[in-house]
Amino acid sequence: MEKKFIADNMLGKMVKWLRIAGIDVAYDGNYTRRGLVEAARLEDRMILTRSRKVKYPELLIIKSEWFDAQLEQFFSCFGHLGEGCFFTRCLICNTILEPAEKESIRNKVPPRVYLIQDSFNRCPGCERIYWKGSHYKRMLKQITDILKKYK
């Protein structure tokens, strides 16, 4: 069974990078401490937090305020849980992405992107469209460089 996480509002950037790595991380910047614990319990998730005040049996207190150090702490504890799953989750809502037919997204991406890209993914949750643009290689290198240390 895939390990699932939930993060508090102090870890937004870390959440984005965990999702890039294919890891299931729920996040809502409006969770109260009690709401975070309730959501973790209901969805069977481990809590990621910077707060020492959160009490829950499955909890990882993230020590650094810098996202790269946060990722290093996470991967040193869990390794890479989403092996081979890079760019499979929506960065906004955490939903697993689905392939999208190029013609179906014609009016949902900039014209230049539509002309130069052939492969697209769509989030069935929030309808966001993803493609391997200029940022893709940079992001992939950044996350693989961090993960090399924990294989």
pLDDT number for residue 143: 85
Q: Pull the structure tokens for residue 144.
A: 């693989």
Query: What is the per-residue pLDDT for 83?
Result: 59
Give the span between the Cα atoms of 145 and 141, in whole angstroms.
Answer: 6
Q: Which of 2, 43, 19 is nearest to 92 (CA)?
A: 19
pLDDT band at residue 134 using 50, 70 and 90 as cut-offs: confident
Cα gap 110→92, rounded to integer Å: 19
Closest CA to 10 of 34, 28, 35: 28
User: What integer is the mean pLDDT of 107-133?
Assistant: 96
Can you give the pTM of this predicted structure?
Answer: 0.91
DSSP code for 148? G
The first and second tokens of residue 69, run together, are 């150090």
Q: What is the pLDDT of residues 63-95, one digit of tens each?
A: 999 998 999 999 999 887 665 689 999 999 999
Q: What pLDDT does residue 80 have?
A: 74
Name the pLDDT band for 151 (thresholds 50, 70, 90): low
CB atoms within 10 A of CB 59: 15
Sequence spans of domains, the chain:
1-87+134-151, 97-131
**Residue partners of 66: CB distance under 8 A and separation at least 6:** none
Closest to 28 (Cα-Cα) out of 38, 54, 20, 83: 38
Task: Give the span between the Cα atoms of 140 and 2, in whole angstroms.
Answer: 22
Per-residue pLDDT, averaged over 28-55, amounts to 95
Structure tokens at 33: 């401490």
Please compute the mean of the pLDDT values over residues 8-34 and round it to a whole number.
Answer: 94
Q: Does 150 have pLDDT greater than 90?
A: no
Architecture in CATH for domain 1-87+134-151:
3-Layer(aba) Sandwich (3.40)
Per-residue confidence (pLDDT) for residue 1, from 0 to 100 = 57
3-class DSSP state of 99: strand
Give the separation between CA 100 and CA 138, rounded to whole angstroms: 23
